[in-house]
Chain A
């Protein structure tokens, strides 16, 4: 199935410079049709620059970027017609109503007049905001605005929907709601979703993740494979008899770290670990197994947290 999929986004040797500052440094990647693709990385890594260039807002300094086989710099208006974009900052017209905003968008994208009303109802249904059709956008909450923007982004049936930090600045509950609609769109409507985020949990549910740092893609795979490749599951054990635990671990040459009150054991093969644990079962008073996360992947590759000292 994966081999069969068509490549909807193809980026080759893409570089973007602002004066002397290199925001994106010679990156290559492609996205298969119908998948949710996440760009993960700290602020300033070059994620938004990449998304803005793919959306035809910026011109690339070097390299080739194609959407649905069309070059984003030489074929701007065709590319624009086939994508939907939700930017980091709202681009809704606050003085107009929800309906007027969506109608305007339909005009811009040449949606046939006879279809406009149906499509507005359809997308508002999808994000469950039909009752807000006649309200002025300025009067909506941040989460509702974001949902309206997502609705607007797909009203012209784009092939790819770009979402730049779609859930930044939203409270956890709204974040979850917005995320539900994103997944629903990709799965039910088969729209390719390309998004940037710095939330680990969001990247975890995507089909593919590219991790960016300092303008480079440092890892690119499914979240599962990334974690498998770069992280180890860990067991945190507290034992009654520390000496026996240590000697046993040493005899089995299992890597461990002694912490103040517990031992941290790196888990390799699950079966080996289970064997060791079963030999220790008399001594173990408590055990916690933690799976590796994408944050661990980032930590493993770069040696630092993805958002050092930041929120959450």
Chain B
């Protein structure tokens, strides 16, 4: 526990100390709120700004977990991970600390947008905030697994950035976070069904907009939930699907992290011989 806490605190401090990144990470979400909220004003969505904002927040949570995984790669190649790995602590503890700090940072970034959103005249229900935080932590945990998995497979920062961009963009745009899935072509909608982020968006939007108790038909009508065939994915079902994805990601990334050979990280053949 002491080890997990220390590593968590370290990752959290690293995040807080990088103030430039902290501020710049908040710029693009607002860009999306204002542009897209303007576009969808006339598309039959009740409160376009709130609808958009909830999508932007959960996307932010998702993207932060990816960014934090990039810093994990930084540690792996930058040497600090070597210090961690020659110490007697178990790799499992390191992985757990990565997941928890990832989820913490992601939640905080999501919360900042949430709170800023309240000040900019958007009407998200502040009373929903209590339920919002656990959902953000949950979503953060799910995707921290995906992030760590990609990080351990990519092995260097360039590959990671390329892969994470290739994964992040389609996942975000085909999740309903910015563009309601009903506006997408059929083939793309099918992709969205396999996209874990789609379920995170349903769950989070229903919570922030206070629609947890609404009927399935109502949610589909408001573009909050979607139907697969005649089957409606309600927020509760979305939670279940996301949990399955989460267990899968955490499991795969833990296995991959336990097995990865850090001595091969970001090294070329010449370096290897020089060992």
Contacts and interface: CB of A to CB of B under 8 A. Distances in A.
Interface of A: 18, 21, 23, 43-44, 48-49, 52, 55-58, 77-78, 80-81, 83, 85, 87, 89-96, 100, 103-105, 107-110
Interface of B: 2-3, 6-7, 10, 13-14, 17-18, 78-80, 82-90, 262-263, 272-275
7 contacts: A23-B273, A52-B275, A57-B82, A94-B78, A95-B13, A95-B14, A108-B89
Given A57-B86, A58-B263, 7 more contacts: A57-B263, A80-B88, A81-B88, A87-B82, A89-B79, A94-B78, A100-B13
Nearest 10 A/B pairs, CB to CB: A108-B87, A91-B79, A91-B83, A107-B6, A81-B88, A80-B88, A77-B88, A48-B275, A91-B82, A93-B80
B10 A110 contact: no
A193 B14 CA distance: 33
B10 A104 contact: yes
A22 to B, nearest CB: 11
Contact of A57 (B18, B78, B80, B85): B85
B263 A52 contact: yes
Contacts of A43: 274
Nearest to B83: A91
Contacts of A110: 88
A257 B13 CA distance: 68
Contact of A100 (B10, B87, B262): B10
Which one of B83, B263, B275 has the greatest number of beta carbons of chain A within 10 Å? B275
B contact face: mostly helix, strand, loop, or mixed = helix
Contact of A49 (B84, B89, B90, B275): B275
Given A95-B17, A108-B3, A55 B274 contact: no
A94 B13 CA distance: 12
A188 B141 CA distance: 49
Contacts of B263: 52, 57-58
Nearest to B90: A77
A1 to B, nearest CB: 32
Given A23-B275, A107-B2, A93 B82 contact: no
Contacts of A107: 2-3, 6
Given A57-B263, A96-B10, A109 B275 contact: no
Contacts of B89: 108
Contact of B13 (A49, A58, A96): A96
B273 A18 contact: yes
Contacts of B274: 43-44, 48
B10 A93 contact: yes
Contact of B84 (A21, A48, A89, A108): A108
Contact of A80 (B10, B82, B87): B87
A91 B80 contact: yes
A90 B79 contact: yes
Contacts of A48: 274-275
A44 B17 contact: no
Contact of B87 (A52, A92, A109): A109
A44 B87 CA distance: 26
Contacts of A104: 6-7, 10
B191 to A, nearest CB: 38
Contacts of B262: 57
Given A18-B273, A96-B10, A85 B86 contact: yes
B162 to A, nearest CB: 25
Contacts of B84: 108
A55 B10 contact: no
A57 B79 CA distance: 13
A227 to B, nearest CB: 28
A58 B83 CA distance: 14
A107 B94 CA distance: 13
A239 B90 CA distance: 71
Nearest to A80: B88
Contact of B86 (A44, A56, A93, A100): A56
Nearest to A89: B79
A44 B273 contact: yes
A56 B88 CA distance: 10
B92 to A, nearest CB: 12
Contacts of B10: 93, 96, 100, 104
Contact of B79 (A58, A77, A83, A87): A87
Nearest to B94: A108
A109 B86 contact: no
Nearest to B80: A93
A108 B85 CA distance: 10
Nearest to B262: A57
B273 A21 contact: yes
A73 B3 CA distance: 23
A298 to B, nearest CB: 19
A94 B74 CA distance: 11
Nearest to A149: B83
B192 to A, nearest CB: 38
B273 A105 contact: no
A96 B11 CA distance: 10
A105 B83 contact: yes
Nearest to B75: A93
